[in-house]
Structures are given as C-alpha cells and as structure tokens.
C-alpha cells in the first residue's frame, strides 16, 4: 500500500440554480415604464461633507419580461438629460451646460440591456450598455422585484427597485473644483437609484 497518494483536484462547484417560480411565469410580456409613478435618481458627494440628490423627470423605458426564462428578458431606457432636477435652479443650469451633460449637444442618456440573470427568487442582475455624451460603457444593476398588482384602471403593474454606482469620469463628466482645505467639490463616484413601476402592454 502506498504511503502517499496524489489527491485529485476537486471539480469546481456548479453554479446554484434558482428554482422556477410559476408566479414569475405569469409576468411574461412587454411593459412600458410609467414615469408618473417611477423615480430615476442619483446622489453625489458635495464638498466632501454631504450628498446632493437629484432625479430625471423625463424618460421613456420598455421592458420585456420572460418569467419562465429570465435570461431572455430585456430592458431599454432613454432619459432626457435636460430634465435633471436637484431643486436648485442655478445648479441644474450648470449640470445642463458644457461642464456636465451638455444637453443641447447630447439630449439623451440611454441604457440597453445585454444580459439578465436571476440571482435569487426576487432579485435580478441586469447588465447592459450605458451611453452618456456619446460614451458607451458597461453597467451592471441589481434589481429587486417589489411586487405585482392590477391597479384601479385594470392595468397590470410590476415594480422593481435597485441601485448601482458609477465613476462619472468614465463617461466624460470630469468637471471639478479644488477645495482650499483639500479634496474636490464633486466626488467622482455617483450612486444611481431606480424605483420603477411598469405597466403591461395590451396584447
């Protein structure tokens, strides 16, 4: 009997599969995002001490949900950059100008999904291409299914909520100002938040 034997390397563990949920299959269909009951927002560190929050008021979005095979789902979003709103007129005008969004030249910010993965019973990771000022880079967004309902008008609704972080400099949004005590006026990191209500299109 040999005193030493070579151990065989363990096979890599197979990725965990999320069990199919019959309730999700009922969601399958095409949806239109309802801006009146949704929020697309952002938060950015200002002067190294606090967060400035804002949102975009004008956008259109479309979802195709495949509840039986979530990987076949898709999402598309077009945001009007001039609709940026932080509650301060002078600041919003600066954001619309050439230092930031340059809304006259680049009126739209867009997102197109390239993959959807179900990571838990009610959680999904949406990967896609985010375009700002003609710069397109990949973006991953984690979303949680908030629920489904039929509203008082008989429309079928579905809700998702999620967030992600980006470095604005990667999309050409590089304006800043140095502070006397050190640091900069506006952080590079921006948190994007999504609270989405979408209505199922009529067959």
What is the CATH number for 58? 2.40.128.110
More confident residue, 112 or 45: 112
- Which pair of tokens denotes residue 196? 């989405």
18 falls within a domain: no
- pLDDT tens for residues 73-120? 999 999 999 999 999 999 999 999 999 999 999 999 999 999 999 999
16 falls within a domain: no
80 falls within a domain: yes
- Return the biggest CA–CA distance within the chain: 83
**Helix count (H) and strand count (E) of the chain?**
2, 11
3 falls within a domain: no
- pLDDT tens for residues 128-180? 999 999 999 999 999 999 999 999 989 999 999 999 999 999 999 999 889 87
**161 contacts 146 by C-beta, under 8 angstroms:** yes
Q: What is the pTM of this model?
A: 0.85
41 falls within a domain: yes
Q: How many domains does the chain have?
A: 1
195 falls within a domain: yes
Q: Which residues pair with 80 in a beta bridge?
A: 108
61 falls within a domain: yes
If phi > 0 it is left, if psi is from -120 to 50 it is alpha, else beta; for residue 47 that is left
8 falls within a domain: no
Residue 115: count other Cβ atoms within 10 Å of its Cβ. 13
- Residue-number span of the structural domain to which 38 is assigned: 23-200
Q: Which residues pair with 117 in a beta bridge?
A: 125
- Which pair of tokens denotes residue 127? 């990967």
């Amino acid at each position: 009997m040999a005193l030493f034997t070579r151990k065989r390397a363990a096979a890599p563990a197979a990725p965990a599969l999320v069990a199919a949920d019959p309730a999700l299959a009922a969601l399958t269909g095409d949806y239109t995002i309802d801006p009146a009951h949704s929020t697309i927002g952002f938060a950015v560190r200002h002067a190294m001490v606090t967060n400035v929050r804002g949102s975009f008021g004008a956008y259109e979005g479309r979802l195709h949900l495949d509840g039986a095979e979530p990987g076949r789902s898709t999402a598309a979003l077009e945001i009007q950059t001039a609709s940026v709103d932080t509650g301060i007129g002078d600041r919003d005008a600066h954001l619309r100008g050439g230092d930031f969004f340059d809304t006259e030249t680049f009126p739209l910010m867009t997102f197109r999904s390239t993959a959807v993965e179900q990571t838990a019973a009610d959680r999904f990771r949406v990967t896609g291409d985010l375009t700002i000022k003609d710069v397109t880079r990949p973006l991953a967004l984690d979303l949680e299914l908030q629920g489904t309902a039929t509203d008082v008008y008989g429309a079928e609704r579905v809700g998702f909520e999620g967030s992600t972080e980006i470095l604005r400099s990667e999309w050409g949004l590089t304006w800043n100002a140095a502070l006397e005590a050190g640091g900069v006026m506006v952080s590079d990191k921006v948190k994007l938040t999504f609270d989405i209500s979408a209505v199922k299109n009529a067959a």
